[in-house]
Amino acid sequence: MVIGFFSGLTLGLSLIIAIGAQNVFVLRQGLLGKHVLPVALFCSFSDALLIFIGISGANKFLTDIVQKYSTEIFLAVAVWLFFYALIRFIDVYRGYGLDHLIKGPKTKLSTTLMSAAVLTFANPHVYLDTVVLLGSISMKFESSMRMAFGLGATTASFLFFFGLAYGANLMAPKVQSPAAWRYINIGVGFILLMVAVWMLQEAKIF
């Protein structure tokens, strides 16, 4: 049981720590201090759901769906990411600091979670990492060990998302100035653009 748990924990952390659109979104919400807990919970439980779908043996079914509609899915995600990156560059142009964004119009929780859902469930690589890869590796264990493996991978998701969200929240006072926030938005924008281009390549657009 212990071996299974730590195997899942280690592999889960190694997969989730890579910078992606979902992680950037969680980081930004933490810096803004807006809906930090709901976003961290949503992303953690979403990962947990997909992980346990994978270890239940449903990975083959979802893999077939992703492969069948891969072009459409990757293209849709790329368009969304380009749009989201554009918003960040508009923020750079306006030159607002973190203080202005915090005191500005508050984004509804439902809107924030909808963005988190798109960045989570519309990303084929999320399924490949959680359902397909973790699910396939878990099949090497017997049932009780497989459950421990899933719990370890799920724990990795909770540790990462809560650490990222609240770690960013603690850093927020150090990035209050417009200049600091401008660099953050530039970084976020370029990361989103790189992921969007990667999605277009996966969709075989070029």
Number of domains in the chain: 1
Q: What is the pTM of this model?
A: 0.77
- Give the separation between CA 202 and CA 56, rounded to whole angstroms: 27
Using the predicted structure, report yes or no on whether residue 103 has a pLDDT greater than 60. no
Greatest pairwise CA separation for the chain in angstroms: 56
pLDDT score for 104: 54
Phi, then psi, of 113 in degrees rounded to 5: -70, -30
CA distance between the termini of the chain: 46
**35-47 mean pLDDT:** 95
Q: What percent of the chain lies above the pLDDT cut of 70? A: 88
H-state helical runs in the chain: 2-16, 21-32, 36-53, 59-68, 70-94, 98-103, 109-121, 124-127, 135-138, 143-171, 178-202
pLDDT score for 94: 80
Using the predicted structure, report yes or no on whether residue 107 has a pLDDT greater than 80. no
Range of 32's domain? 2-202
pLDDT score for 137: 79
Query: For the ranges 7-16, 111-120, 139-148, 172-181, which has the lowest average pLDDT?
Result: 172-181
**CB 151 within 8 Å of CB 3:** no
Angle ∠(115,120,124) on CA atoms, nearest 5: 130
Using the predicted structure, report yes or no on whether residue 138 has a pLDDT greater than 70. yes
H-state helical runs in 95-177: 98-103, 109-121, 124-127, 135-138, 143-171
Query: For the ranges 25-34, 55-64, 127-136, which has the lowest average pLDDT?
Result: 55-64
